[in-house]
């Protein structure tokens, strides 16, 4: 995989770019344009989901790019209402058709939904999809360590990835440690804290000024240097370019410590223990 973004190696040997492009809350036609811009800017990993309603636009941009399939890393996710063995297989077929692909690189269970108790059956369908070669890797999203424990007790393929909310205000120490012990890669969603107050925090602004970089670039560097996979989202071409231009500088120990001190265990999204949509 040749790209300006270095890969991490997942627990099954598959390479995944450490930085990709997220398309949550981007309508289908706008996603097509944004993904095209991202691919031109050098992104090779795209993170979508059935519930985002933009798998088709994403697929169209991929097809139009002319980039070889083996240079791309495409992630999609199974939505909550499709959990269960048979419904997962059907939902996966629908996602592949919308993307216009023969396989995805990573398929994730979007939420654990502990109150519904279907995650194990759902994951067994994921194992079937994986063994059929239609997903190069399978994993989960928003799983707490207790949900991962249940899954690994009852199924045989260790998830390659857990995609969780993670940014300097929610650093997820316990989850990251558990993932590292289990060989599960940690992927950070809302890595920029959704661009809200986080990018104006004085400590981050000061580090950005010191390096002649932007606050978003500093936050992305922090993630990369602690080993997270990141999938920042933007529909603005200049920001799309800015967010991938993070491989020409590094934060020093003092910068990293100043950002690590910003943890507030504060979520922007739902709590996976109770979210049941
Ligand atoms: P993000 O942290 O990537 O922030 C995106 C927002 O930050 C943009 O809308 C824009 O307002 C701002 N921004 C982006 N680049 C900027 C820059 N360079 N300078 C200033 N502001 C900038 O938030 P996100 O979209 O919530 O998360 C990223 C991706 O994670 C999503 O698109 C999606 O793919 C994924 N995600 C997954 C889940 C899940 O449940 N698995 C949930 C939310 C998001």
Q: What pTM did the predictor assign? A: 0.98
Catalytic residues: 52
CA of 235 to the centre of ligand 1 (A): 10
Per-residue pLDDT of the chain (277 residues; tens, 9 = 90+): 446 899 999 999 999 999 999 999 999 999 999 999 999 999 999 999 999 999 999 999 999 999 999 999 999 999 999 999 999 999 999 999 999 999 999 999 999 999 999 999 999 999 999 999 999 999 999 999 999 999 999 999 999 999 999 999 999 999 999 999 999 999 999 999 999 899 999 999 999 999 999 999 999 999 999 999 999 999 999 999 999 999 999 999 999 999 999 999 999 999 999 998 8
Best of 189, 191, 270 for a ligand 1 pocket test (most atoms within 8 Å of beta carbon): 189
Torsions phi, psi for 85 (to 5 deg): -60, -60
Structural domains of the chain ordered from first start: 7-195+222-235 (3.20.20.100)
Among protein residues, the one whose CA lies closest to atom 30 of ligand 1? 189
Determine whether the shortest distance from the Cβ of 168 to ligand 1 is under 6 A: no
Best of 43, 200, 234 for a ligand 1 pocket test (most atoms within 8 Å of beta carbon): 234
């Amino acid at each position: 995989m040749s790209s300006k973004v270095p890969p991490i190696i997942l627990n099954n040997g598959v390479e995944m770019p450490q930085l990709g492009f997220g398309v949550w809350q981007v309508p289908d036609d706008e996603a097509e344009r944004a993904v095209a811009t991202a691919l031109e800017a050098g992104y090779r990993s795209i993170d979508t989901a059935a519930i985002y309603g933009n798998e088709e636009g994403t697929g169209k941009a991929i097809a139009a790019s002319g980039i070889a399939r083996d240079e791309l890393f495409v992630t999609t996710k199974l939505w909550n209402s499709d959990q269960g063995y048979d419904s997962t297989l059907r939902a996966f077929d629908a996602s592949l058709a919308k993307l216009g692909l023969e396989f995805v690189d990573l398929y994730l269970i979007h939420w654990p939904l502990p109150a519904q108790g279907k995650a194990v059956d759902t994951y067994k369908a994921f194992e079937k999809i994986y063994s059929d070669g239609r997903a190069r890797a399978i994993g989960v999203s928003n799983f707490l360590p207790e949900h991962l424990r249940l899954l690994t007790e009852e199924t045989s393929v260790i998830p390659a990835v857990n995609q969780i909310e993670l940014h300097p205000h929610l650093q997820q120490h316990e989850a990251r440690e558990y993932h590292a012990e289990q060989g599960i890669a940690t992927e950070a969603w809302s890595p920029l804290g959704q661009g809200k107050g986080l990018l104006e925090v004085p400590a981050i602004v000061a580090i950005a000024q010191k390096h002649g970089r932007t606050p978003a670039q500093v936050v992305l560097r922090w993630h990369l240097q602690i080993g997270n996979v990141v999938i920042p989202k933007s529909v603005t071409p200049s920001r799309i370019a800015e967010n991938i231009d993070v491989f020409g500088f590094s934060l020093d120990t003092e910068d990293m410590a100043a950002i690590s001190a910003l943890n507030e265990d504060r979520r922007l999204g739902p709590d996976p223990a109770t979210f049941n949509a």
